[in-house]
Amino acid sequence: MWAVDNAEKNKPAQRGNNSCTFTRADFTLHTMSQNAHTLQLFFDSPIKLKTAQLAYQYLVAGNTEQAQRWAGELGVADLDDLWDGEWFNQQVAAKPTHLLLCFDTGTHDDLPLRALETLFAHGLRAAVLEVFYDQVGETERMHFDQGQWVGRQAFFSAHPDWRAVVEPLDGGDDAQDDPYACSRDPAKPMSVAKMRKDEADRRKQGEEAAKAFIDLAQTFGKNGQSPVQGLIAVLLLRAGFKGLLHAVVFTVVTVLLFKGIWLWLGLGLVLAIALPLFYMVREHKDLRGDGDDDDDAAGGSDGADPAGPATVQPAAG
């Protein structure tokens, strides 16, 4: 279940030349297929660290029976809470201070937030996640402390002794030379649980939007209409509603602020007709683009002189 024998997934990928690099020097196999994740996990106690190490080492080896045993010792009942079966190129190494976990995922897979939330509930104190996006050649880092996503500076303010472990390379005083300047920091600390909820909400909204579009296309298809034309009609109706809303807001504001109620009501009625038409015409032009105008111009030129300029051939001999 946990071992993946997929030649395409396991083929090595090249790491791009980006400002933030991390070398997996602990392993003989260097793979950067798809999105490459490196997790540095810091636990509350050496016992928790050793227990998690055994659970993950057995997971990587494909021994689910022993992995389940040590996950149970950690307090985790379901292995899926620690590991996603879609991850591949799994590697794990134990350090004196932390556990180093590496794996690759598909380009559209989620961050390992479920595993982090589970580990924080069972002895994890802090973590640093680094993701290399192979398709774009970029790397980003995220720092977690006490179950929250925090900024880089906040992380090292709480754990100054770990900077030499997490950032072993000296970037100097110049921020441009900092190999770890790829940190992605939140505006304010956010719990991992909240991150998972937001991620699930975004996925649900995307799925609902896709389903709505498919249903719309099927409805127009049953009526013998083009789905594209149906989508254009929906966009035009939305533009018309926007114009009507603006007209209503204008009318209410002017009636409340200025004298001459009948004047403003009359003007509002005119705008209630004119603004929706204006927005719909503008939306239609945006959807149509400039291609029709270019075609018309080309057609006019062709109509004026279809044969093009005359060419006079010199007489032979």
Q: What is the pTM of this model?
A: 0.62
Kindly give the residue spans of alpha helices, DSSP state H, lying in 76-147.
113-120
Q: Which residues pair with 88 in a beta bridge?
A: 104
Choice among 42-46, 170-174, 233-237, 280-284 with the minimum mean pLDDT: 170-174
- What's at 115, amino acid-wise? A
Say what the pLDDT of residue 258 is.
Answer: 86
Length of the chain measured in residues: 317
Alpha helices in 152-290 (DSSP H): 152-158, 163-166, 192-222, 227-257, 261-288
- For 37-93, the DSSP string reads EEEEEEESSHHHHHHHHHHHHHHHHT-HHHHHHHHHHHT---GGGT--TT-EEEEEE
Mean pLDDT, range 8-16, rounded to an integer: 42
Query: Is 278 in contact with 243 (CB distance < 8 Å)?
Result: yes
Residue 60 has pLDDT above 50, yes or no: yes
pLDDT for residue 116 is more than 80: yes
pLDDT tens string 184-233? 999 999 999 999 999 989 888 888 877 877 777 777 677 776 666 767 77
* Arithmetic mean of pLDDT, 165-190: 80
Angle ∠(210,211,216) on CA atoms, nearest 5: 100
CA distance 279 to 73: 64
